Every structure is written in structure tokens, then in C-alpha cells.
Structure 1
């Protein structure tokens, strides 16, 4: 991922990237995205982009392993989050889903991850402390709640599932208030061109529709140009 592509990905929303991936692939059917409604801690803050650092947690019940095992895994988790390629996005599967109660993402944990240079967090679990989360560290989560429950780390660096989307450690993630997607490795060389082509194509219909005097005849002409540009 070049710096130019990274900057462009930060400027566009996740639906745009979803469409652009299909432009780059030359067909419809891309499906590596989340399903259902997710919540964003900063809906107006723009997208998070980065390579996934994955983990699994649970919080509904107390851990059954020895305390020293839980402590060692917690430190392994933070070591994993502090390392690896940047930009990074932490992707955490709450194994209690859909009955998640443990708000892993609050003021302290988000601040620690931002300090590690992580760009944001994606989870099917719970977030809290919404007024106190650090700026420029968005959290896209499954729910909001007040308690941390018995939250503890169960796995580090393994494949995870978040709202129907499978993520492997190192996958390139794009996420915002619409949800998230995994950018296929094969489209990365052509993704910048695809995004710019998509944006130019959309102007063919959006600009006439936003101008005065727009009617069906104007629409028909604009739509024909729009359709022709997509084939």
C-alpha cells in the first residue's frame, strides 16, 4: 500500500471502497464485509485504515484458567498490538456474541492502543466511555454498555469473525460508520485507479441531479453516460 493510496483510503467512505473493489475486480459479488448495523464512536471522524491485529476476548463468565496464564496472555496481546506493520487496526472478536456484556473498549484501552500507533478498533463486542475516548481513534463496535464484566483475552493473532466478516491477522481493513471490509490483496495495485474512476463516474449522474432544471430527460441523458462509463 503506497502513501498515496493510504491517504486516498482515509478520505473515502467504506461503501466507496466496497464499490471500487468491484471496479478493480471487473465484476460484482465482492462479499468480504460486515453484515448488520454497527455503531461508531465517532461517526463524523472518517475511516480507519490499517493491517489487522487480531484477538478474541470473552467477558460473560470468569476465566477458568490460572491467573498467571490469563496475565501472560494479556501481556502477549499487548505485545502483539504494539508490533507489526503500520498503519494497524485492532480487530477483536467477542466470543460471547450476541450476548456481549464486557466493554473492552473504554478510555484506558483505546488510549493505550492509540499510543501504540494503532489507527482504530473493530469489534462485535462492547464499547463505553464515549465522551472520553481519544480523538482520531474510532471504535466500530456491536454495542454500547457500562460494564467490563469478566473481560479477558482468549486468543491472540488467530482468525476472527466480526458481524459475518472473517479477518486474518495482517488483512488490510477499511472501516467507518457503515461497517467494515477486508481489502483483497490482489486489488491493491489497482485500487487507487478504481476509486478515482468510481468517483469520476458518479459525477456523471450526481452533478446533473444536483443542478437546477433537472428532469427526466436530463436524467435519461445523464444515466446513459453513467451506464456507458461503467461498462
Structure 2
């Protein structure tokens, strides 16, 4: 992914990317996105874009493994996050879902991950410390809660499931307050052009609709031009 595409992806929302992927594929039916309503720590923040660094956690019950195993895996987790090459997004599945109680994402953990150069976090689990989180590190999460419970890392760099979306370590992720998606690798070479085409095509309807005196006749002309540009 070159710098131009990365900059563009950060400037547009996830629904735009979802539509642009279909433009690049030349058909409808793209389905690698989250289902249901997620929460964003900073709804006005831009999108997080990067290659997934995945892990699984749990927090309802204390870990059953020896403390030294838990500590070793915790350090493996942070090493994995700290050694990402290129833009990265941390993606963590809480295995307690839908009964998650452990807020893995609070002031300390988000600050550490931001320090590693990661652009944000995506989880089906819990976040907390709203108002004390670092700027420019959005969290898209399943819920908000006060406790960390018995939170501990179970797996590192394995496939995870976030609101119906399977994400593998290394997948290219785009996420914002609408949810998240995985960008198919085969569309990456055409994605910048697809986004630009989508934005220009949408103007054919949006610009007339914002003008005084817009009526059905103006809509019909605009929609015909819109449909012709999409084919």
C-alpha cells in the first residue's frame, strides 16, 4: 500500500470504502464487514487503517494456566504489537462475548499501543477511561464498562471474529464509527481509482440535491446521469 492510498483511506469513512470495493470488483455483494452496532471512543476521529495485529483475550474468569505462562504470553502479545511493519491496527477478540466485562482498552493500554505506532484498536470487547484516552487513537468496541476483570491474553496472531467479521493477522483493516471491514488484497491496486470514481459519481446526485429549487424533474435528470456513470 503506497502513501497516496493510505492517505486517501484515512480521509474517507468506512461506508465509502465498502462501496468503493464493490466499484473495484465491478459487482455488488462484498460482505467482509462487521454486523451490528459498535461504539467508537472518538466518533469525530478519522478512520483507522492498517494491517491487523490480532489476539484473543478473556476476563470473566481468572486464568487457569500458571502465572509464568500468562506473563510470557502477555509479553509475546506486546512484542507482536510493537514489531508491526507499516500501518497497523490492533484487533482483539474477547472470548467472553457477548458477556464481556473486562475493559482491556483503557488509558494505559491505548497509550502503550499508540506509542508503538499503531493507528487504533478494534474489539468486540470493552473499553473504558473515556475522556482520558490519547488523541488520534480511536477504539471501535462492543461496549463500555468500568472494570478490567481478570483480563488476560489467550492467543496471539490467530484469526479472530469481531461482530461477524473474521480477521486474520495481516489483513488490511479499515474501521471507524460505522464498524470495520477487511479490504481484499486483490482490489488494493485499483482501490484509489475506485474511491475517486465513487466520490465523483456521487456528486452527480448530491450537488443538484443541495441546490435551491431541487425537484423531481431535477432528481430524475441527476439520477439518470448517476446511473450512466456507474455502468
Per the TM superposition, whether the score is higher than 0.5 is yes
Q: 1:225, 1:183 → 2: CA distance?
A: 29
CA shift, 1:46, in A, is: 1.0
Hey, what's the Cα distance between the residues in 2 that align with 1:35 and 1:64?
Answer: 32
Match of 2:226 in 1: 226
Task: Kindly tell me the number of residue pairs found equivalent between the two proteins.
Answer: 231
- Which structure 1 residue ranges, 4+ long, deviate > 2 Å from structure 2? none
1:105 & 1:159 partners in 2: Cα distance? 20
C-alpha contact (below 8 Å) 1:51/1:171 kept by paired residues: yes
TM, length-normalised to structure 2:
1.00
Match for residue 168 of structure 2? 168
CA–CA distance in structure 2, aligned partners of residues 218 and 145 of structure 1: 49
| Structure 2 unmatched ranges of 5 or more | none
Partner residue of 1:140? 140
Question: For residue 43 of structure 2, what is the aligned residue in structure 1?
Answer: 43
Partner of 2:150: 150
Matched, 1:52 2:59: no
1:176-187 superposed matches below 5 A = 176-187=176-187
Find the counterpart in structure 2 of residue 25 from structure 1: 25
The corresponding residue for 1:204 is: 204
CA contact (8 A) 1:86 1:118 kept: no
Which residue of the partner structure matches residue 13 of structure 2? 13
Deviations 1:188-228 (A, max 9, x none): 00000000000000000000000011000000000000011
Instruction: Note if contact 1:86-1:117 (Cα within 8 Å) is conserved in structure 2.
Output: no
- d(CA) in 2 for partners of 1:123, 1:85: 21
- Using the TM superposition, give the Cα deviation of residue 88 of structure 1 relative to its aligned residue in structure 2, in angstroms: 0.3
- Equivalent-residue separation in structure 2 for 1:124 and 1:142 (angstroms): 4
- 2:87, 2:130 → 1: CA distance? 23
1:115-174 deviations in Å (ceiling 9; x for gaps) = 000000000000000110000000000000000000000000000000000000000000
Cα RMSD, aligned residues only: 0.4
Instruction: Please tell me whether residue 63 in structure 1 is matched to residue 68 in structure 2.
Output: no
- 1:81 aligned to 2:120? no
Q: CA deviation at 1:112?
A: 0.2
Checking the alignment, whether the CA contact within 8 Å between 1:22 and 1:29 is kept in structure 2 is yes
Distance 2:162 2:25 in 1: 24
Unaligned ranges ≥5, structure 1: none
Structure-1-length-normalised TM-score:
1.00
Distance in 1, matches of 2:104 and 2:143, equals 11
Tell me which residue corresponds to 1:119.
119
